[in-house]
Homo-oligomer: A and B are copies of this chain.
Amino acid sequence: MGTEKPHPKSVEALLGTLRAHGFRVTPQRVAICAVLAGMQIHPTAYDVYDAVRRERSDISLATVYTALKALTRAGAILDLHTAANNSTHYELDTRPHVNFFCTRTGRVDNIAAASVGALKQAIELDGRTVSDMRILVYGTTDDADRQSPHDS
């Protein structure tokens, strides 16, 4: 039933995963992982760049992209494409769960639904092996103010 989630990954865990996969740990990557570990939502590459830039004004956006790709390849994070935005959002929680996009507030929530496991099992019973699931659900949360259905 819970909606909010605490930071699922620590700086050390992120860096450790990088190292374990043969990627190098640079001061830039330490700063990037620190920012990632402190982020509550699903940041884009530019979000990360913008946050890291406050400490290290010399950081390059290309470096952020490289680091995020390394983290993705190491399995420490997931890249998340949405239909609402052209840019990739990154996900720190690598366990199967539901990403809920509220079309009214623009928020992205993580939902831990029990049915996700059942879904995975059903697919694997059908002669497949699942390595990764991305469940994107669009809709609204019922408690906020109403807004008339979009027209244009």
Contacts and interface: CB of A to CB of B under 8 A. Distances in A.
Interface of A: 1, 3, 78-83, 88, 98, 100, 103, 111, 113-116, 118-120, 122-123, 126-143
- Count of chain copies: 2
B115 A119 contact: yes
25 contacts: A3-B126, A78-B83, A80-B83, A81-B81, A81-B82, A83-B88, A113-B119, A113-B122, A115-B115, A115-B119, A115-B122, A116-B119, A123-B137, A123-B139, A127-B142, A127-B143, A128-B140, A129-B141, A132-B138, A133-B135, A133-B138, A134-B135, A134-B136, A134-B137, A135-B135
B136 A140 contact: no
A118 to B, nearest CB: 5
B129 A139 contact: yes
